[in-house]
Amino acid sequence: MSFTPSLDFILREGLLTAVFQPITSLRQSRILGYEGLIRGPSDSPLHVPERLLGEAAAAGRLFELDVLCRRVIIRRFGELGLEGLLFLNVSPAALVDPQAVQGSTLAMARDAGIAPQQVVIELTEQQPIADFGLMCKAVEHYRRMGFSIALDDLGAGYNSLRHWSELRPDYVKIDKHFVQNVHNDPVKRQFIQSIREIAHGLGTRVIAEGIETRAELETLRGMEIGSGQGYYFARPQADPPRVLGQQDLAYEGQAGGRRRLPGQTAGVLCRPNPSVGPELELGRVVERFQRDAALKALTVVEAERPVGLVRRQDILALYSQRFTRELHDRSPVRYFMQRDFLVASADMPLEELSAMVTSTEDVEDVFIIVDEAGHYLGMARLLDLLKRITVLQISYARYANPLTQLPGNVPLNEYMDGLLNEGVNFVVAYCDLDHFKPFNDYYGYARGDEVIRALGSLLLENVDHVGDFVGHVGGDDFVLVLAGGDWEQRCRRLLQAFDAMAPGFYEPEDLASGGIRAKDRQGRETFYPMLSLSIGVVPVSPDRFHSHLDIAHTASEAKHQAKAMEGSSLFVDRRRSILPQQSRETANNKLSNAPPA
């Protein structure tokens, strides 16, 4: 006969298991901390948290369960040696319960070797708060001990906004209802955007719960939500991951803006800055700041990699409080360092870096620079980045095409020459519309401008690799500089997408005729089929081309070869190709509906 443990037996014997779910930075591939969750015995109906809480509430033993959950989670967090923040679920009623013992949670944390600055008290709203005044006093008491405060399930509880306004939490968690399918729901996006704006004004950090798909992640990232958790990253586990898996979390920036201009990467901003180890005593860190008045921040480095940031203002503010020196002088700095900080690789384009910096909820004045292996190089200032970006934007505006705002010949040529000087292999695709002049004469310049803008947007959508570049070199001529080995597939998809888009520019009667009748250059009326797109491609290697002039000449020839074919066409000039002679029999043929060989 099997034994099913009762609630009384579970509480008396402490039969609970802690599991942890990572909380991640959406702009950096970094785990910021973990939410500690609880499970009952696996062979019991009370294994499920909701059942366990429900039975404890019915038996009037919620406070007892709450304290046991805290003890189990804190002890296990310490045993696992997990780094970062620990989000600890606490019922608001438990904070103001008459049985509560002052300092018990602090004692649990210290026994487990966890600094109070690592602990975030996450208030879970399972029932209305009866006495807000008493709750505010309890929250302030926890803050004085060094704990932070988070408000869970924002938007799902009884009085979420009132709690936010009166308790002033350090973190708010957006309920998963508003996160799920957010990419397809404008109402949810508006709700989240409103939360972000309020949080920015109040200095509160936002965490999105329940992220399960890449589409949800990218939407939230685009809305400048800084942190999140959910099954997309990891499920709650007894032994959770210390680093993220292969979810490709690194910030990708906006496709149209990624240009790696020579010499215009994060490395030019890097300045030498001192670093310390994570076990250095906090008192020694304070001494460093006191000796050097110009030192604004220290990077905490372990195994040559940055793991934290210590800001002068934060540490000196901490030491201005009573008893801080006596309590923390000999504590390792890892307990007090900032774990959510900006890191940029030295080869990151400045525009991508700018997008990453401005996507954060709280724009930071400094960020860390690492090499390709992730090793610490130094620190950069936001002010220096802004100066560089301003110069770049002025340069882009000077040479941008007024219709599409895409860069013109000068920045394109500088870009290609820079890649050649760096010894980089790349592909140039010269794009030109077929039958555009008669179309423009027939329908008028406004319709023609609409086509050109639409083509520019379509080309930008095709830019999905760091190192890609879109240039508008005049009229209906565009040039793509493509990185990555999938350039041919992308060009073919581009042709197919344009063919699908082109009919939308014609009136129904012309669409039925398959084209228009307009006068040619000699004034003779001629039938012109619908617009099509020709792309001439030149694979480029530095040992075969010496400047943008060589590339432009060869690309122009390739474009003319493509235009000699009927309909939307792709021609690849492989005479000086650096690439394998693959698909030769298909690459130089007219695009068909069949997939390429």
How many Å apart are CA 300 and CA 333, to the nearest integer?
8
Above 80 in pLDDT, residue 582?
no
Q: What are the tens digits of pLDDT across the range 75-88?
A: 999 999 898 899 99
Give the global pTM.
0.55
What span, in angstroms and rounded, lies between the C-alpha atoms of 426 and 538?
9
* pLDDT per residue as tens digits for the range 116-137: 889 999 987 655 566 677 778 8
Averaged over 407-411, what is the pLDDT?
88
Q: Which domains does the chain have, with CATH numbers?
A: 7-248 (3.20.20.450), 256-388 (3.10.580.10), 400-587 (3.30.70.270)
Q: What b/e readout covers 286-302, taking b as 16+ CB neighbours within 10 angstroms?
A: bebbeeeeeeebbbbbe
214 versus 5: which is more confidently predicted?
Answer: 214
Which helix or strand (DSSP H or E) is residue 478 part of? strand 477-482
Facing residues of 527 across strands? 517
Q: What pLDDT does residue 126 have?
A: 57
For the chain, the straight-line distance linking the first and the last C-alpha, in angstroms and rounded, comes to 66
Closest CA to 368 of 342, 337, 346: 342
- pLDDT computed for residue 480 by the predictor: 94
In one-letter notation, the amino acid at residue 582 is Q
pLDDT band at 363 (very low <50, low <70, confident <90, very high): low
pLDDT tens digits for range 502-539: 999 999 999 999 999 988 878 888 999 999 999 999 99
3-state helix/strand/coil string of 370-418: ECCCCCEEEEEEHHHHHHHHHHHHHHHHHHECCCCCCECHHHHHHHHHH
The pLDDT assigned to 421 comes to 83
The DSSP H or E segment spanning 9 is helix 7-13
What pLDDT is stored for residue 340 in this prediction? 76
Lowest mean pLDDT among 259-263, 377-381, 461-465, 498-502: 259-263
The fraction of the chain above a pLDDT of 70, given in percent, is: 87
pLDDT value at residue 466: 60
In this predicted structure, the answer to whether residue 553 has a pLDDT above a threshold of 80 is yes
Rounded Cα distance between 326 and 364, Å, is 31
pLDDT at 504 (0 to 100): 92
pLDDT band for position 387 (50/70/90)?
A: confident
- Check pLDDT > 90 for residue 161: no
* Burial profile 450-462: b = 16 or more Cβ within 10 angstroms, e = fewer: ebbebbbebbbeb
Residues 200-217 have pLDDT tens digits of: 878 888 999 999 988 888
